[in-house]
Amino acid sequence: MATDIASPSASAAAKRPGSYDLPGALKESAITAGVAAVLAFPFLGLQANNDGPELVLLTRWELFFWAVAVVFVGRMLLTVFRWRSDARAKSAEGLKAFGAKFQRYNVWIGLAGAIFAFTLPMWPFADRYVVDIATTFLIYVMLGWGLNIVVGLAGLLDLGYVAFYAVGAYSYALLATMFDWSFWICLPLAGLFAATFGVILGFPVLRLRGDYLAIVTLGFGEIIRVVLINWYDVTNGPDGIGSIPRPTFFGYAFDRSPEEGTMAFHQLLGIDFDSMHRIIFLYFLILILALITNAFTLRVRKLPIGRGWEALREDEIACRSLGMNPTNTKLSAFAIGAMFGGFAGSFFATRQGFISPESFTFIESAIILAIVVLGGMGSQLGVVIAAFVLVIVPEWLREFAEYRMLLFGLAMVLIMVWRPRGLLSHRDPTVRLHPPGYVPRHGVEAQKVQAQEAELAAKAK
C-alpha cells in the first residue's frame, strides 16, 4: 500500500500516453481515502467535549463521512488533472517564465507600487479601515524586508525574529513613558537596542551550523517572551504597557485640543480637526520606514558587505578560504536585520498605544519567516506579494477566523511543495563574469565560438 502511494508520479508517467486509467485512479483514491479515514476517525469522528469539569465523548459520523468523501473526490480530481496534462511541470514552467518576466520589469513594478502606496490615502475607496489595514500590511512588509537581510541575503535561518521586534517595541514604550522622550529620539535608540541584542545573541551562536542557529533563535524568542511576562517591575508583566505616547508631526500633536502652549497639527495647517490625520500620518511613517529598509537592502547588496553576505550564503567554505571572517559578516547581517526589526517594533508600539507579550508569540515569527520564504528568498518584490497573500487575504477571510491559522499552515506546506524556492524565485546572479550579450573576442572561448560559427555556416551551405 505504501509503495503504491509512494510513486504516483512514476505510475502517472507510465500511463500518460494512454487513456484515463479508471481502475488505477479508483484504487489510488480509495487508498488515500482509507488513510484519511484512519486519521480523521479519532479527531473528526469523535470529540472529547468539555462538559463542566468532566469530559464527555461526542460522535460526529456525518462530519467524518463527509471529510473522507471529500478526500476521495479530491484525489480522483487530482488523477484526472494529472492525466489531462502534466500540470505540475507546466505550471512550474509557466511560473518560472512569469518570475523571469517579473524580474525584468522589477524596477517599473516597484515604482508603480510605490506611487500607488504614496497616493493610497487619496483614492476614493481609502477609508479608515483600508488605511489601517494598509498600515498593518506595511509593518509586515518592513519586517519581511528586515528579515530578508538575515534569511534571504545572509542565508541564516532566524526563527525568533519577533524577539527583536519585541525589544524595539518595549524599548520605545519604556523610554517614551518613563523619560517622555519623543518618537524621533526613541526610534533610533530602539533600533540600537535591538541590534545590540542581535549581537549579544549572535556572537556565541553564529559559529554554529544553520539548523542549530534556527533552534537557538527560536529559544531566544521564547526567552524574551517569558522574561517580558515575568519581569513585572519593568515590563508590567502580562498586563502590558499602556498609554504609550503617539508620534507627533515634528512636535505638533494630532489632538483636537493640544496641551497648553503647544500647537496641534490641524492648527498648524489651519484646517479642521480630523481623526484621519493621525492614521494617514502613521501610514506614511511606516511607508517611509519600509522604503528606507528597502533602499538600504538594495544599496548594501552592491557594497562589499552585502556581497559578502550573499557569498557566505552560497558557500561558506569558499568564503573562509578567501580570507573572509564568516562570524563578523554573519554578525553584521544579524545585527542590521535586528535593527530594522527594532524600528518596526517601535512603530508598532506607537501605533497601538498599548503593547503586551501577547503580540510577540512564535506565530508572528513564523508569519514573518513565511513571508520571506514564500516570496522567494532574497526577492524584495516577493516579500511584498507574500505579505499581501499572508496578511491581506486572511483579513478578507475574517468570517473563517477559526480556520485561518489552519489554512495558513496548510498553505505554507503546499506552497513549499509546489515551489520550494518561493513564488518569485527567479533571480539573476548578482555579479556576472560576462555581462549579457557578451561575445568573446580572444582566447580559448573565442576560438570555440568561431569554430561553432564555421560549423553553422558549413551546415547552412
Partner 1 sequence: MGNSRVAYFLQQLINGLTLGSIYGLIAIGYTMVYGIIGMINFAHGEIYMIGAFLSVITFLVLGTVGIDSVPFALLVMLVVGMVFTAAYGWTVERIAYRPLRGSFRLAPLISAIGMSIALQNYVQITQGARVKPLQPIISGGFTLYTGPDGFTVQLSFLQLFIWVLTIALMVAFTYVITQTSMGRQQRACEQDRKMAGLIGVNVDRTISLTFVLGAVLAAVAGLMVTLQYGVIDFYIGFLAGMKAFTAAVLGGIGSLPGAMLGGLLIGLIEAFWSAYFTIEYKDVATFGILVLVLIFRPTGLLGKPEIEKV
DSSP result, 60-124 = -HHHHHHHHHHHHHHHHHHHHHHHHS-HHHHHHHHHHHHHHHHHHTHHHHHHHHHHHHHHGGGST
Single-letter code of the amino acid located at 393? V
Rule CB under 8 A: choose which of 65, 252, 281, 362 binds partner 1: 362
Round to whole Å and give the CA distance between 147 and 161. Answer: 7
3-state helix, strand, coil in the chain (%, to 5): 75, 5, 20
Q: Does 420 interact with partner 1 (rule: CB under 8 A)? A: yes
**Of 29, 118, 114, the residue nearest 294 (C-alpha):** 114
- Min dist. Cβ of residue 197 to partner 1 (A): 14
Which of 61, 66, 81, 403 is the binder for partner 1 (CB under 8 A)? 403
Decide whether 230 or 243 has the Cβ nearer to partner 1: 230
Cα 201 from chain centroid (whole Å): 22
Q: Least distance (Å) from partner 1 to the CB of residue 301?
A: 20
Residues 400 and 407 sit within 8 Å (Cβ to Cβ): yes
**Of 38 and 100, which has the nearer Cβ to partner 1?**
38
Which of 369, 371, 391, 423 is the binder for partner 1 (CB under 8 A)? 369
Neighbour count for residue 311 (Cβ, 10 Å): 21
Phi-psi label, residue 443: left if phi above 0, alpha if psi -120 to 50, beta otherwise: left
CB 423 within 8 A of CB 382: yes
- From the CB of 392, what's the least distance to partner 1, in Å? 19
Is the backbone of residue 243 left (phi > 0), alpha (psi -120 to 50) or beta?
A: left
For the record, the C-alpha cell of 113 comes out as: 507600487
Interacting positions 191-230 with partner 1 (CB under 8 A): 204-205, 208-212, 214-216, 218-220, 222-223, 226-227, 229-230
Classify burial at 256, counting beta carbons within 10 Å of its beta carbon; exposed 0-12, middle 13-18, buried 19 or more.
exposed
Shortest Cβ distance from residue 34 to partner 1 (Å)?
A: 10
Binding test (CB under 8 A) with partner 1, winner from 12, 25, 33, 44 = 44
One character per residue 298-337, x = contact with partner 1 (rule: CB under 8 A): -------------------x--------------------
Kindly indicate which of the ranges 3-11, 89-97, 238-246, 325-333 contains the residues binding partner 1, using the contact rule CB under 8 A.
3-11
- Identify residues 238-297 at the interface with partner 1 (CB under 8 A): none
Considering only residues 76 through 95, tell me which ones interact with partner 1, judged by CB under 8 A. Answer: none
What letter would DSSP give residue 154? S
Of residues 345 and 364, the one with the C-beta less far from partner 1: 364
- The Cα–Cα gap between 308 and 254 comes to 44
Minimum CB distance to partner 1 smaller for 60 or for 246: 60
By CB under 8 A, is residue 406 in contact with partner 1?
yes
Asked if 405 interacts with partner 1 (CB under 8 A), we say: yes
Tell the burial category of 394 from Cβ atoms under 10 Å away from its Cβ (0-12, 13-18, 19+): middle
Q: Is residue 49 near partner 1 by the rule CB under 8 A?
A: yes
CA–CA dist 309, 330 (Å, integer): 7
DSSP for 125-150, please give it: T--HHHHHHHHHHHHHHHHHHHHHII
Q: How far is the CB of 338 from partner 1 (least distance, A)?
A: 17
Smallest separation (angstroms) from partner 1 to the CB of 330: 15
Number of residues engaging partner 1 in binding (CB under 8 A): 66
Binding site for partner 1 (CB under 8 A): 2-3, 5-6, 35, 38-39, 41-44, 46-50, 53-57, 151, 157, 159, 204-205, 208-212, 214-216, 218-220, 222-223, 226-227, 229-230, 317, 362-363, 366, 369-370, 373-374, 377, 402-403, 405-406, 408-413, 416-417, 420-421
